Amino acid sequence: MNNSPVSDSIRIVLISLFIIWTLVFAREAQPEEFAVPNQGSPYIDLHEPPVGSIHHLPTGIRVSQNQLIDALSGSRVIYIGETHDNTEAHRVQLEIIKALAQRGPISVGVEMFRRSSKERLDSWNRGELSEQEFRRQFHEDWGGGYPLYQPIFEYLRERSIPLIGLKSSKDTESRYREGSIGEFPEIDLHDPYHRAYSMSTFGGHSEKVEKPYRMLLLWEEAMAQTVAEFLKNDETGQRKLIVLAGGFHVQYGFGIPKRAFRRVPHAYSIVLPEVIEVPEELKDREMTIEHVSIPLYAADYVWKVDYKILEDNKIRLGVLLKEEDDGLHIKSVMEHSNAHRAGLQEGDILQSIDDQSLPSVPTLATYLQTRSYGDWINLKVLRNGQEVKLQTQLQNPGETPGP
């Protein structure tokens, strides 16, 4: 039976629609068609290997620590990510620093210090800046958490390994935020994968998150610029640079690494100390990120680690403090607290604890972390212009506000 021209036309249209529908369905059914599976690990599911194992992500091959260091030795810049509060990530960072320092000269650049702190860090590198002043600079640039990085800083100082601040200055950030005219690092706004991943973290694509995204770009471009300046500096010779920064800034390479490479092409490697399973008691610290497909390896190497945080001994004086040029001013004292038992009063100016001066609130908080309940402490305050010495035994009165 001969088909009519109309029947043939209908058949062609139906076949065409079926092919189109099949292609559309296939794309919808495979949203990760162009993405690297397993969140940037194409050959292995990182839930399976044991904690402590190290894997080369592009091949899935497990390597030893010595093999990792051999491979990293071929790079001029080594980026090591971190979850800021994870002590295991910082342990891995220190192990890599120690191993590479045995192979040749290194410098260490950190996100925790600003570019504007260069002179003070240079003084610290020369042994001219006291630990107290160094801690104060850390607090000004980064905030809390000094004990997390203390083992790294102590090793660098013992070995005279230069420390470099990477992050943009507060003044630069303020001018950029206000839209002022000034010198800013060259900023690339057009990486689609960086934008998609960042927006999944910020929780949307609205205008409200555009400003935070641009501030993130400023941070990463400033850190990348610092890396590039290191590479272009003839005085660094062939010294390697180890960069310690949040995993977000180095993961997938589109943060600091790509932006530094854009300025000065060079050999680099990315190592991620990776937490795969977050303990139930630490779930509240886990960041919720909307899934987004990224066609990139998460890193060159993943070092699988546990998630551990510093234990807080929760020792508090029980005071609210305000930093002034002449000391720490006590704004209030909680009843039944260690401060109350010591005889501290509102209006007192706290000068020292156990003969250690107190230039900042973090200095006091850090010192209290070295003491235990039952220890005696000696306090020196100014009260109405007169020096007063006080003493008390540290007790646990329950939760108290302030240091």
Asked whether residue 164 is domain-assigned, the answer is yes
DSSP assignment of 96-111:
HHHHHHTTS-EEEEEE
User: Are 11 and 109 members of one domain?
Assistant: no
pLDDT value for 360? 81
d(CA 364, CA 350): 10
End-to-end CA distance of the chain: 94
Asked whether residue 18 is domain-assigned, the answer is yes
pLDDT value for 25? 38
DSSP assignment of 168-219:
PPHHHHHHHHHT--S---------HHHHHHHHHHHT--SGGGHHHHHHHHHH
Judge contact between 62 and 301, C-beta under 8 A: no
Q: Whole domain around residue 20: which residue ranges?
A: 1-30
User: 10 Å Cβ neighbour count for 25?
Assistant: 10
pLDDT tens profile 347-365: 999 998 988 788 788 778 8
Judge contact between 249 and 217, C-beta under 8 A: no
User: Are 152 and 73 members of one domain?
Assistant: yes
User: Are 136 and 282 members of one domain?
Assistant: yes
Per-residue pLDDT at 6 exceeds 90: no
User: Are 295 and 333 members of one domain?
Assistant: no
User: Are 145 and 279 members of one domain?
Assistant: yes
User: Are 247 and 294 members of one domain?
Assistant: yes
Asked whether residue 402 is domain-assigned, the answer is no
Asked whether residue 332 is domain-assigned, the answer is yes
pLDDT value for 8? 57
User: Are 68 and 10 members of one domain?
Assistant: no
For the four alpha carbons of 47, 110, 292 and 258, in that order, the dihedral sign comes to: negative
To which residue do tokens 């810049």 refer? 77
Asked whether residue 314 is domain-assigned, the answer is no
- Kindly give, in sequence order, each residue whose CB lies less than 8 Å from that of residue 11, ignoring residues fewer than 6 positions away: 3
pLDDT value for 19? 46
User: Are 141 and 183 members of one domain?
Assistant: yes
User: Are 5 and 136 members of one domain?
Assistant: no
Domain count, the chain: 3
Mean pLDDT of 28-49: 73
Q: Which two tokens stand for residue 268?
A: 């680099």
pLDDT tens profile 33-43: 457 887 789 99
**Average pLDDT of the chain to the nearest whole number:** 87
pLDDT tens profile 319-341: 999 988 888 999 999 988 999 99
Asked whether residue 197 is domain-assigned, the answer is yes
Using alpha carbons, select from 400, 334, 330, 328 the residue that is nearest to residue 361: 328
Using alpha carbons, select from 194, 190, 171 the residue that is nearest to residue 182: 171
pLDDT value for 18? 44
When pLDDT is cut at 50, 70 and 90, the band that residue 21 belongs to is very low
User: Are 278 and 323 members of one domain?
Assistant: no
Per-residue pLDDT at 250 exceeds 80: yes
Mean pLDDT of 114-137: 93
User: Are 42 and 181 members of one domain?
Assistant: yes
Radius of gyration of the chain (CA): 27
Asked whether residue 341 is domain-assigned, the answer is yes
What pTM, to 2 d.p., does this model score?
0.76
Domain boundary among 251, 282, 305: 305
What CATH number is attached to the domain comprising 118?
A: 3.40.50.11550
Q: Which two tokens stand for residue 11?
A: 């058949």
Say how many CA atoms lie within 13 Å of 3 toward its Cβ. 8
Asked whether residue 359 is domain-assigned, the answer is yes
Mean pLDDT of 152-157: 97
User: Are 15 and 60 members of one domain?
Assistant: no
What CATH number is attached to the domain comprising 346?
A: 2.30.42.10
